[in-house]
Structure formats: structure tokens, C-alpha cells
Amino acid sequence: MMSFPRPLPLLGLLTCLAAVIGLTGCKKPFSDRAQDVSVFRFSDNGAPVTMDPVQSATQYANLMTTSIYDQLYEYKYLARPYELKPRLAEALPEVSEDGLLYTFRIKKGVRYSDHECFPGGRGREVVAGDFVYSMKRMFDPKNLPQGEWLWQGKIVGMDEWKKTGADYAQSIEGLRALDDHTIQIKLNKPFPQLTYTFAMGYSSFVPREAVELYGKEFGINPVGSGPYVLKSFTTKKAILMRNPNYREEFFNLEYEGYDPKKQSGLGLEKLDGNRLPIMDTAEVYFMKEEMSRWNSLNKGTEIHYGVIPIELTHMVTENLKPLKLKPDYEKKFTAMNLPELGIVYLYFNMSNPIIGHHPDPEQNRRNLLLRKAIRAGYDWPQRNRRYYNGIATIFPGTIPKGLDGYDETLGNESVTPDYEQAKRHLKEGGWTPENLPELDYNSVAGVRMTQLYEQFRGWMGKIGYPREKIKFVQYATFGDYNKAVKQKNCTLIGMAWGLDYPDAENVLQLFYGPNGSPGSNSSNFDDPEYNELFKKSIVMQPGPERTEIYRQLNKMIVDQVPAICGLSRNTLTVWHKNVVFLPSRNPHGSLLKYAYVFEDSKD
């Protein structure tokens, strides 16, 4: 009988396992030293690729830039509706009567973080000239800027500066530093939302020295005057350390808009009087994999803040409206239903005559009825139940709840499915299964997107639209999809829009004719009456007259159906009981400086 083999493989495997498992019994390195550094571990579901403010288009990039850099303004932490407060500015701007001249005064004595780009390595004072330089960077094509559109055509001389070669030595009439602490901006026409745009990461104060030192690599070597400095960065994790040069800033509960009726029970009172940033270190984990993120959160010793994956909603929650967690999770987490300041749409490409604008008035009328029929078949409530836990907010038109112009009197007919009504529209328009046009439903490839398409096709089946006439066109990446949209090659376009600032102008401009593709108006809706009214509204200061115009514009969207809208998503967010935090997404920038872990986990 053969004696070979001995149980070598098993022994080997066991040895390896023992060695690895043995680690769990080992003492943690440096565990005998005093751990006096406080840490908040935040997580997000995506990662920035750069921290250059001119490219901070994503919420992830904006989180980083608004943590590291200063902007003139920011939103009060707790105030809802959103309210601006000065950040680097001393106060709100002085605005001339005609609304064309803005004067901003910035705080004195604010310093950049210490860095080798400055003489002697000591951060110099932030001056008004930095703002002028930073805005010029936004208009310099070499930087591949993504926020230029916010100010395009608005600041006197800015566009011309770019056209004449973006020479930084050349001054701009409408953008000047009057002295080290005064910025003056001259506008071509009133732009009441200007101050809001200066709370965005795009408008960060950037020191020229750092840009010149790092060149192309400036995006991964940020140097700012914000509450944090970057210690390390990968696309999986960023470590932010307290900026030792950060000015004295203390949290004032009342000033930040605390509402005891709505916000008590979150421990926010503990923040009062604390110097910002409260924690020494903020670690940001970029975790696209929902389950890994949840596991890390639920573990209790890793990330402090995250979201409940949609697949686990029923395992974790007892009730969604109002949100209540199951007892095991209730003990661990504070939970909140976080509303999004944004909207989900399905656009019709109005430049496509088979469904959109048509030179023949009769065909135009038939196309409108066709769009109305498709909308009447669109089941927002079902979509909400299936894909958004039933907690999203559905509303008619394009102006989300909470914004000036939101119309409570607008009926819900446009967001309620009515298959009989849809069939009536089709009949009225003379549409039959034979003459209905073939439609392409466009989206980025993915299981979820395929499900959304199939759901849509199912609804259309109910109104008598032949299933085979609704094609699915998938794109490998968002870039490919965006290209098709911007080139007007899509008929049905699923999109979402996160508001850049809390003003309905930001969503109404999505239907302004001159903003057609490749502009933000992906529906290419071009209605002279709408355009006229919108043009009138954008130079108006907030007030009842403007509100009325916003409502009229919103109603026109409902009547003309360039898009099926809308829905605002909600997210089920949770954070550990020992953390004081009130999450918010856009238009807020980074809220990391307010986070307070009052009994940090000992790991």
C-alpha cells in the first residue's frame, strides 16, 4: 500500500489560516499610546477624480473642495429652507440699485494652510486677488473647467478675456480686486442668483503659488484656507486633517437655524459653542459597493455615516413613513430620511419631429397629444414603490417642494397614471398602433436601467403602444450617453438634475430654448412664450411677481410636456449613536466640520 501522501495540504492550509486568524488575537499597534486624535469617518457612494475647484462638478469633488478651500458664502447648517451665511465674506454683498454692481468684503487675517509653495512654507493671507485669479482659472480652457456656464455672459468682460487668449496679466472690467479685501463684480444684466453661485466649490479661493508649483497635478495637491488640509488621497479614501491655520470659528446653534420642533433628539445642542472643525480628522471613504459600505457601517468600528442599501430596507427598518428602525438597529443608529434637492425626469427630445416640435401645426398638435398620452401612462407612484422605497416625493411640474415657485394648487393629474385618459389622447390625435412612431429609450447600461425600461414599456403596453416600437438603446458609459444626448440623437432621455442652488431658476433654465443641446436643455424645448417669460424672470429679484412668473413657467412645462416630471429622491441615511451630524446634500457643500463624535470608537 502506498504511504504517500501525508496530510500536507491540509496542514499547510491550517497553518496559513492559523497565522492569519492569529492576528485577531494580536495587540493593535500603538494601542498603548494615548489616542488623542478625534476622527469622523464619513462615506459616500462615489469618488472624486480631482480636487481642483474648477472641476468640482460632482458632489464628491464638491465635498472635497468645500472642505479644503474657502468660498465667499456657505449655507447655514441647520436652516431649512436653505439660507446663505458669509464664510470668507464679512457679510452679504452690497448690491447697487440696478442690481449690476456687487461689492464683497472678505475677512482679514485669514491664512492659507502652511505649504512649501509659500515663501518660508508659511501660508500667506487670503486676498481678494486670489478670487479674481480663481475666477479667471474657471474661464481658462486649459483647465477643462466645468462651472464656467454659471457665469458665462454675466460678468462684464469675462467672456472677452477668454476669447482674447485667457491672459492672466490682463484685467477684466467686471471682476476686480479693489484692495486686498474688497472684490467688485460688474454684471452685464442682473443675476440675482450670483451670491448663491459663490457658495459652490467652483468659486473657491485658490492660491496662485500652488497652481504654479504643481501645474497639472494641482488637482491632487490642493492648498486652501478651509477647515481641513488633505493628508492623503486615493479613489477609495481621503484623509483630511484639521487646518492649523484655520481661523477662529465657533458653532452657534441659533444662528445656524436650529429648529427644536423638527431637529430635537439629534443631539445638535452638543455642537453649540464648539470651535470648528470639531474633529481633528475627517476620513472620507468612497464606497461605490453598497453592501461593503453597509457592512462597514454596521460593524460599529469603521465608518460612522452611511445609507441603508435599498435591498436591506425591510431588514433594517420597521417603518418608512415616518422612518423607524428595527430595535437592533435602533440601538446602534440615528436615522433620517434625507430629501434630495433635485429632480428625476424623462425628457422628450423636442427637436425630434416625430414626437416634439413640428413645423406643421396639425402634426404639432398630434405630437403634443402623443406626449400627453405617454405621460398619462407613466406610473410615478409605481416607480416610487419599486425603486425608491415609496419614500420619494412626487410633484407636478419641474419646481420641487420647498422652492419659491412651487405650486401647491397645481393638480396631480400630470403625475397620476390614467390609462383611459391616455387612450383618449391617442384617439384624439389620430394615433393608432400602426402609425405610432418607433421610440428609442436611452440609458446607460445596467440591470437597474433595463428594469426601468421594461417597466416603462409595460406601462406603454397598457395604453396600447406596441411593445416592439419602444427600443432600448444602451450606452457603456455616462460619457457615451451624454454624447448622444448632447448631439440630439435620443428621443426619450432619462435624466436627473441636482440643483446647484435653491432657486427655481436653476430648473426652469432646463427648458429655456437658447440652452438647447449641448446646453442644459436636453429636451431642446423651444417655446417663444416660455423663452420670453423666462428671460423676464431671470433678472428679477425674489418677490411675488417673480414667484408668479415661476408658476406660469412651471405650468407651461406641465401643459407642453417636454418632459415627464417629476420626482425627488430620498435617501435613508444612518449614523452611529455617538455621532452628532445632520446630513444634507446639494446645495450644501462639505458639512464635515460640524460632525462631532463624542465617544469615538476605540479602534
Query: Of 33 and 261, which has the nearer Cβ to other proteins?
Result: 33
- Answer yes or no whether residue 147 interacts with other proteins by CB under 8 A: yes
> Which of 28, 261, 331, 602 contacts other proteins by CB under 8 A?
28
- Answer yes or no whether residue 503 interacts with other proteins by CB under 8 A: no
Identity at 515, one-letter amino acid code = N
Residue 476: all three cell numbers together: 457603456
Q: Which stretch binds other proteins (CB under 8 A): 20-28, 334-342, 393-401, 446-454?
A: 20-28
Query: 53: closest CA among 213, 237, 248, 198?
Result: 198
Span 199-218, contacts to other proteins by CB under 8 A: 215-218
Task: Determine the size of the site formed for other proteins (CB under 8 A).
Answer: 73
- Taking the complex as a whole, the smallest distance from the CB of residue 221 to other proteins amounts, in Å, to 9
- Answer yes or no whether residue 188 interacts with other proteins by CB under 8 A: no
- Taking the complex as a whole, the smallest distance from the CB of residue 184 to other proteins amounts, in Å, to 26
| Total residues found in the chain within this entry | 603
Any idea of the CA torsion for 450, 455, 460, 463, to the nearest 10 degrees? 170
- Answer yes or no whether residue 108 interacts with other proteins by CB under 8 A: no
Query: Of 157 and 381, which has the nearer Cβ to other proteins?
Result: 157
- Answer yes or no whether residue 13 interacts with other proteins by CB under 8 A: yes
- Answer yes or no whether residue 236 interacts with other proteins by CB under 8 A: yes
Span 57-96, contacts to other proteins by CB under 8 A: 57
Counting other chains too, the contacts that 388-391 makes at CB distance below 8 Å and 24 or more residues apart are 388/567, 388/569, 388/570, 389/310, 389/313, 389/320, 389/570, 389/572, 390/320, 390/321, 391/320, 391/321, 391/337, 391/570, 391/572
One character per residue 462-501, x = contact with other proteins (rule: CB under 8 A): --------------xxxxx-xx--x-------------x-
295 close to 276: Cβ distance less than 8 angstroms: no
Rounded to an integer, what distance in angstroms lies between the CA atom of residue 191 and that of residue 126?
26
Terminus-to-terminus CA distance in the chain, angstroms?
55
Span 287-346, contacts to other proteins by CB under 8 A: 287-289, 291-292, 295-296, 298-300, 302
- Answer yes or no whether residue 602 interacts with other proteins by CB under 8 A: no
Would you give the DSSP letter of residue 249? -
Query: Of 119 and 165, which has the nearer Cβ to other proteins?
Result: 165
> Which of 59, 252, 393, 520 contacts other proteins by CB under 8 A?
520
- Answer yes or no whether residue 237 interacts with other proteins by CB under 8 A: yes
456 close to 470: Cβ distance less than 8 angstroms: yes
Rounded to an integer, what distance in angstroms lies between the CA atom of residue 471 and that of residue 438?
7
Q: Which stretch binds other proteins (CB under 8 A): 13-21, 126-134, 366-374, 461-469?
A: 13-21
- Answer yes or no whether residue 8 interacts with other proteins by CB under 8 A: yes
Q: Which stretch binds other proteins (CB under 8 A): 65-73, 107-115, 145-153, 538-546?
A: 145-153
- Answer yes or no whether residue 133 interacts with other proteins by CB under 8 A: no
Residue 531: all three cell numbers together: 423663452
One character per residue 402-431, x = contact with other proteins (rule: CB under 8 A): ------------------------------
Query: 71: closest CA among 232, 161, 203?
Result: 203
Give me the sign of the Cα torsion angle 392, 478, 203, 209: positive
CA angle, 53 then 58 then 61, to 5°: 45
Query: Of 522 and 547, which has the nearer Cβ to other proteins?
Result: 522
